[in-house]
C-alpha cells in the first residue's frame, strides 16, 4: 500500500521519452533510478519508467497567474500548460464571510479581464485548464488582489495593487 501525501505538485504531468513518445500521468514516487506514475491518481495501478529513458517532464497545468488591478476590474494573465487545452476556467472568491470560489468565466486564451468589481475590495482568483476529454487540471497559483479607488478627479489607469 502507498499513501500519497506531499507538499509537492500532484497534478498531471506531461512526460516526453527519449524515443519521442509521450504520455500524461501523475508522478507518485521517484528514486535514483526510476519514476512511478499512475494514469488515474485514485487507482492503485502504477507503472515505472527508468529515469534515463525520460527526456523531460512538464506540468500539465497553467502557471504564474498574475493580475493587473484597476478600480472595477482585474486583467488576469498566466502561462499556458505544455499542451494547449480546450479552454480555461476562471474562479473567483470575494473576501467576505462565507464566500467560496465560484466559476465566473471560461476562455480559450491565457488571459481574461474580470469586470464589474467593487472598488477597494479584496478578491482571490485561480485558473484551471480543461483538456479535449473534459478533464480539469489542477489549479494555478492563487492570487489575491485589492481593487483600487480612482484617484480624485482622474481617469482610471493601469494601477497595480497585488499582494
pLDDT, tens digit (0-9, with 9 covering 90-100), for 46-79: 999 999 999 988 876 677 899 999 889 999 999 8
User: pLDDT tier at 142 (50, 70, 90 boundaries)?
Assistant: very high
Amino acid 98: pLDDT: 80
Contact 146, 120 (CB under 8 A): yes
Contacts of 29 (CB under 8 A, 6+ apart): 2, 35, 36
Grid cell locating 123: 478578491
Q: Confidence band (pLDDT; 50, 70, 90) for 7?
A: low
Contacts (Cβ under 8 Å, ≥6 apart) of 28? 2, 4, 36, 37, 38, 41, 46
Q: Which domains does the chain have, with CATH numbers?
A: 12-59 (2.30.30), 63-146 (2.60.40.10)
CA 140 – CA 11 distance, rounded (Å): 10
Amino acid at each position: 500500500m502507498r499513501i500519497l501525501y506531499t507538499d509537492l505538485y500532484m497534478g498531471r504531468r506531461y512526460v516526453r521519452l527519449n524515443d519521442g513518445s509521450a504520455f500524461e500521468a501523475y508522478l507518485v514516487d521517484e528514486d535514483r533510478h526510476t519514476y512511478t506514475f499512475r494514469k488515474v491518481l485514485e487507482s492503485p495501478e502504477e507503472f515505472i519508467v527508468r529515469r534515463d529513458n525520460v527526456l523531460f517532464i512538464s506540468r500539465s497545468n497553467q502557471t504564474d497567474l498574475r493580475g493587473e488591478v484597476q478600480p472595477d476590474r482585474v486583467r488576469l494573465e498566466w502561462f499556458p500548460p505544455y499542451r494547449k487545452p480546450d479552454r480555461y476556467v476562471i474562479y473567483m472568491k470575494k473576501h467576505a464571510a462565507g464566500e467560496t470560489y465560484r466559476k465566473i468565466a471560461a476562455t480559450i486564451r491565457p488571459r481574461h479581464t474580470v469586470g464589474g468589481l467593487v472598488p477597494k475590495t479584496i478578491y482571490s482568483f485561480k485558473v484551471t485548464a480543461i483538456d479535449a476529454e473534459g478533464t480539469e487540471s489542477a489549479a494555478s497559483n492563487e492570487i489575491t488582489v485589492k481593487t483600487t479607488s480612482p484617484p480624485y478627479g482622474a481617469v482610471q489607469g493601469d494601477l497595480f495593487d497585488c499582494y
